[in-house]
Amino acid sequence: MEQVLVTGANGFIGRALCKELLVSGYQVRGAVRSLDQVSSEGRGVQYTAVGSLVQPVDWSLLLKDVDAVIHLAGVAHYLGPQTKEAEARFRDINITATRALAEQAAVAGVRRFIYLSSIKVNGEVTDGRPFSADDPPRPEGIYGQSKLEAEQALSKICDTKGMELVIIRPTLVYGPNVRGNLQRLMGLINRGLPLPLGGIDNRRSMVGLGNLCDLIRTCILHPAAPGHSFLAADGEDVSTPELVRLLARHMGRSPTLLPVPPSLLKVLGVLLRRSEEMQRLTSSLQVDISETKEVLGWMPPVSLDEGLKAMVTGAIGVQATGI
């Protein structure tokens, strides 16, 4: 039976992934910051508290007899100014800690290292042509840059030590208990507030939590997975107004979408110091997952509509309607 170590095991993705791996017959070890964070859903996972990844971690006991490491832990969702302190935190956790884990994993004889990176390595915006796996990286912020540098460090370690490496770059991940912008958007829809999003004409790729977990699970044993950087998405792009309408339908709401020009929304974002959030609402970010499907023989098992329904019913507790 394969033994797998999942870091960030109690996070949004980690909880769902550990559950899927247990159901699939894996022995799962979960690294968390504190055992106080472990949820009741994690029965069957062997949890270990490793503290903050800012400090050096001795992974030797957790890595003993492990076949594959799935490294989810990291810093994300930073919307503040790009200060030296913020950059140092990203480097300490997303780069230095990742490098240290991989080095210790190679010494321990781990067969495969799966790294959850980010589509932000490719960039923030597309203009008519989706990102593909072969595109040169163009990260714009400290988060995307830290993920790219972590990928580069892992490639060097794995090439030198003979450990297999799989990189996955997901788009926006959604699912039950999601937080951030999607949680706020669902709250606004649920309150019936008019939304100034009707004039937006964009296309966004997203990936459902179930689809991402299925892709990660596939990469644990697939013989063709090592050496690839896979882009992860549902394969169904959606505009911001379409997303609002889909969410509202599952929430039993009738949204009011005001046709405000995107240029005005961007000005509003600057005034409210929400430029990055407004960019995500108004711009396009599409990915081409054809290589992911072809190399792995993989198809997203859950449709965008099914995934959004699961998110709505799981996140805010309303009954799904209109199905």
Catalytic residue among 26, 47, 115, 143: 143
The confidence score (pLDDT) of residue 278 equals 87
Query: Does the predicted model carry a pTM greater than 0.85?
Result: yes
The confidence score (pLDDT) of residue 274 equals 83
Q: Where are the domains of the chain?
A: 3-174+207-232, 181-204+237-286+302-315
Q: What SS3 class is residue 148?
A: helix
Q: Give yes or no: 78 in active site.
A: no
- Phi/psi region, residue 315 (left: phi>0; alpha: psi -120 to 50; beta: rest), is alpha
Structure-block tokens of residue 42: 């994690």
- Sequential pLDDT tens for the chain (323 residues): 699 999 999 999 999 999 999 999 999 999 999 988 776 666 899 999 999 999 899 999 999 999 999 999 998 865 556 677 778 888 999 999 999 999 999 999 999 999 999 999 999 999 989 999 899 999 988 999 999 999 999 999 999 999 999 999 999 999 998 988 899 999 999 999 899 999 999 999 999 999 999 999 999 999 999 999 999 999 999 999 999 999 999 999 999 999 999 989 888 888 888 888 888 899 999 999 999 999 999 999 999 999 999 999 885 443 333 22
Residue 86: CB partners within 8 Å, gap ≥ 6? 78, 80, 142
Residue for token digits 């208990």?
Answer: 177
User: Is domain 3-174+207-232 annotated with CATH 3.40.50.1220?
Assistant: no
Spatial separation of the C-alpha atoms in residues 183 and 155, rounded to whole Å: 35
Structure-block tokens of residue 238: 């959606």
